[in-house]
Structure 1
Amino acid sequence: MTTWRPDVLGDGYEQLELPLGTDPDGEGEISATLVRYQPPSTDLPDRAVLYVHGFTDYFFQQHLAEHFAARGYRFFALDLRKCGRSRAPGHTPHFVTDLSHYDAELDEALRVVREEVGGGVLLAAHSTGGLVLPLWLDRLRRRPGGVAAAGIVGLVLNSPWFDLQGPSYLRNVGTAAVDIVGRLRPRALIPLPKTEAYGRSLQCDGWRYDLDWKPLTGFPVRFGWLRAVRRGQAVLHRGLDIGVPSLILRSGASRFAPRYDASVDTVDAVLDVRQIARWAGCLGNRTTIVPIDGARHDVFLSTPGPLAEAFRELDLWLEWLDGADEADTSGSRTEADDSDDSDDSATVSVLHRLTGEHA
């Protein structure tokens, strides 16, 4: 029996606890939290969106839920184990030693959403969630019936974390060290400099969230967690087959700043967007990647102009998805931009060509 109760986001938002039993990483009983947005209506849509957050994050983007609702989708978001609403005393924030552990709450969340809605489910994710979901889909595709039997129709990724930032030699050497330490001392902290640049940028633009669930400087990064991420990225780099079309939105540029200044408002201050472009083709199926000039790391928390552009591109892709027949959406064609940002103007037109609305 499912018992929804009022959520911290207020009117129209409810949450459901998803018990997961004993933590495989040894931190006691754990659960995840499914949030739904249900505005007053007598005619609920028969399709839904299921959204997954990133690291040092949780679901609070009400305008995103309301945008999808206006497009005819019921909206659900999942706070993963030890994250946001799901973190309990004694839990290490966001800590897992294998990204496949998240399969438990993703499977259960999908089951609940499908029971509530009955129709197809569009997945959406941000940052680390944008790595977790493709890996899950690739595993789900191998089960009996695959992705189609699960009712999943597409995937929207918002600045997915496809690779570790920094020069290639540091990534190679660093990954080897992370693999060793992460296996032997998984909870050991990685000594990283703290910066409030991205968090301050969001606050300066009026975005408000719980600082206990999303600290300005981020949660500490632990070797075992980063080892899980790097192992997941390695699987992605070898190539996945997620079984559904995908849309990838990202900023047009990156800039890493030790402290906040106004330029941080118009770039990805967390990830290298060239890496997103480079690895986008590894998802399999039909992939559309659209750079949004002036967008933040979370493109749906950008300043008004880029935010409007991100929603416009999302809507165009959703229109294409609605009109695509099964033969088209199950094909293996992949369209992605090059890692060189000089090609951005060409890649922006990919979505327009797919929708047939522009030459």
Structure 2
Amino acid sequence: MNAHAPHYQADILGQGYEQATLNFPDDYEGQVIATLVRKKASQPTSKAVLYIHGFIDYFFQTEMAEQFNQHGFDFYALDLRKYGRSILPHQKYYNVRDLSEYDAEIDQALKIIAAEGHDALLLCGHSTGGLTTTLYAAHHANHPLIKALWVNSPFYDFNMNPVKRALGIPQISKLAKKFPNLKFPSELNKWYTTSLHQDLKGEWNFNLDWKKTRYPMVYISFIRTIYEAQKEIHRGVKIDVPVLVMHSHQTQNPKKWGKAAQRSDVILGVKDIQKYAKKIQGDVTIQSIKNGLHDLVLSEKPARDQVYQQLFQWLNSKGL
């Protein structure tokens, strides 16, 4: 397949959404693919967006895509290898040993987007995708296409007891070098997916095989991957395009279902996000979203309206 001319077919999200399979060399599990999804704006445009999802996630946020379309951007999203549309029968879900494994699909997606007539791109990512895109932007200074970075609740640190974080994570990370497939309790809040899905207590429809309600155990190779990537963020990276970091106004860890689960980040610590966003060298704007969920664009309507208003205002101020 020519990287510049992918074969698109209809996507599961319906009218206007198309997907193309991207192929890569085999890795430690065998065959590897990623999936590029696109939805074009109603008028031809040279501006585009590339969105990268988070952990235990895939692209389904159609309202976000359509907001970008309405503001004159062609929208693209990747389902990374071993996630969502890209999972293959022989693969372990979400299995990664180095965050730079994802560079291959980001590189290829950017080549395709450029070949499809775009010269200005907003790179954006949510959670683990926010960590991935921050490092990608830092490692690809002066990229001809990337003009700005928007991260939605980026995974800049583990949200856990500080002693456990300081002592436990480095030890687990060391162990993962030899035993990548060992599992460890994930400690993910059980109410998060419940707060989102329309059949549970939310307003969105998505595939519960691809974005699971519970994920009690995590491969320690994933912990090592994140820990190694976060070390770079903690030292402070330099980014040569404007950066917008958004997060909820509060973190909660509710044990019971209630308002806290619907109006706060129950996955990451917002103080950690703020702390490490301030360490990024460059033109960085940090914004707090009142009552935002971990994935801010899936929050209740007043919160996500605020997200889009502030995002497009910021893009406009940066000439995008």
TM range, smaller chain? over 0.9
5 Å-filtered alignment, 1:1-359, equals 1-23=5-27, 26-38=28-40, 41=42, 43-141=43-141, 146-147=142-143, 149=144, 151-193=145-187, 195-203=189-197, 204-218=201-215, 220-322=217-319
CA offset digits 1:203-238 (Å, max 9, x no partner): 223111000110111374111111010000001111
- Normalised TM-score (structure 1): 0.84
CA offset digits 1:58-86 (Å, max 9, x no partner): 00000000000111100000011001100
Deviation of 1:281 after TM superposition, in Å, equals 2.0
3-state SS in 2 of match to 1:190: strand
Q: Are 1:254 and 1:268, in contact at CA under 8 Å, matched by a contact in 2?
A: yes
3-state SS in 2 of match to 1:211: coil
Q: Are 2:185 and 2:216, in contact at CA under 8 Å, matched by a contact in 1?
A: no
CA offset digits 1:317-341 (Å, max 9, x no partner): 0110117xxxxxxxxxxxxxxxxxx
- Matched residues in 2 for 1:205 and 1:169: separation? 34
- Matched residues in 2 for 1:247 and 1:182: separation? 33
3-state SS in 1 of match to 2:195: helix
Q: Are 1:196 and 1:260, in contact at CA under 8 Å, matched by a contact in 2?
A: no
- Normalised TM-score (structure 2): 0.94
- Matched residues in 1 for 2:158 and 2:62: separation? 29
- Matched residues in 2 for 1:9 and 1:259: separation? 32
Structure 2, gaps ≥5 residues long: none
Deviation of 1:128 after TM superposition, in Å, equals 0.3
- Matched residues in 1 for 2:195 and 2:216: separation? 17
The farther-off stretch of 13-22 and 216-225 is 216-225
3-state SS in 2 of match to 1:202: coil
CA, structure 1 residues 219+79, in 2 after alignment: closer, same or farther (shift >3 Å)?
farther
- Matched residues in 1 for 2:315 and 2:191: separation? 33
Q: Are 2:274 and 2:286, in contact at CA under 8 Å, matched by a contact in 1?
A: yes
- Matched residues in 2 for 1:80 and 1:308: separation? 27
Matched pairs, number: 313
- The Cα RMSD (Å) is 1.4
CA offset digits 1:305-359 (Å, max 9, x no partner): 1111111111210110117xxxxxxxxxxxxxxxxxxxxxxxxxxxxxxxxxxxx
- Matched residues in 1 for 2:89 and 2:31: separation? 11
Structure 1, gaps ≥5 residues long: 324-359
- Give 2:183's aligned amino acid: L
- Matched residues in 1 for 2:313 and 2:40: separation? 24
CA, structure 1 residues 101+192, in 2 after alignment: closer, same or farther (shift >3 Å)?
closer
- Matched residues in 1 for 2:36 and 2:167: separation? 38
Deviation of 1:196 after TM superposition, in Å, equals 2.9
CA offset digits 1:22-67 (Å, max 9, x no partner): 11xx11010110000125x4x3111100000000000000000000
CA offset digits 1:253-304 (Å, max 9, x no partner): 0001234323210000111001001000232211101101111001100001
- Give 1:164's aligned amino acid: F
Deviation of 1:170 after TM superposition, in Å, equals 1.6
Deviation of 1:101 after TM superposition, in Å, equals 1.1
Q: Are 2:188 and 2:216, in contact at CA under 8 Å, matched by a contact in 1?
A: no
1 or 2, which has the higher strand percentage? 2
* Structure number, greater radius of gyration: 1
- Matched residues in 1 for 2:187 and 2:249: separation? 25
CA offset digits 1:127-181 (Å, max 9, x no partner): 000001111222222xxxx32x3x1100010000100112332211112211221
- Matched residues in 2 for 1:194 and 1:304: separation? 24
- Matched residues in 2 for 1:316 and 1:310: separation? 10
- Matched residues in 1 for 2:187 and 2:6: separation? 43
1 or 2, which has the higher helix percentage? 1
- Matched residues in 2 for 1:158 and 1:180: separation? 29
3-state SS in 2 of match to 1:91: coil
CA, structure 1 residues 49+177, in 2 after alignment: closer, same or farther (shift >3 Å)?
same
